[in-house]
Amino acid sequence: MSAGTIKKAKKLVEEGNVVQIDNDLYQVRSSSDPGKSYMVTADSCDCLGFKNFYKFHHGKGLKANCSHLEAVKIYLESHK
């Protein structure tokens, strides 16, 4: 995972852009469009980057990821 993804994720958490909706459901505001947000669970996100991850990284053995998913992980770590 890139340093840019982690940096964006940390910024999303710092700016309060992660909101817990349910036990395993979070709403994360877009870093590029404040009017847009994504629904994130522990292992999926409905953003285009996550949906297209395998198209761009096919066959490299990587698990799909995005800054929104990382933001939820950081949020959870900071709220233990």
pLDDT tens digits, residue range 18-33? 999 999 999 999 988 8
| CA distances (Å), origin 36, targets 31, 32, 39, 45 | 9, 9, 10, 13
pLDDT for residue 18:
97
pLDDT for residue 1:
67
Per-residue pLDDT, averaged over 13-18, amounts to 96
Q: Are 1 and 65 in contact (CB under 8 A)?
A: yes
Is the pLDDT at 59 greater than 70, yes or no?
A: no
Cα separation of 73 and 45, whole Å?
Answer: 12
Percentage of the chain exceeding pLDDT 90 = 65
Q: In what order do the strands lie in the sheet with 37-40?
A: 18-22, 25-29, 37-40
This prediction's pTM: 0.88
Q: Are 60 and 67 in contact (CB under 8 A)?
A: no
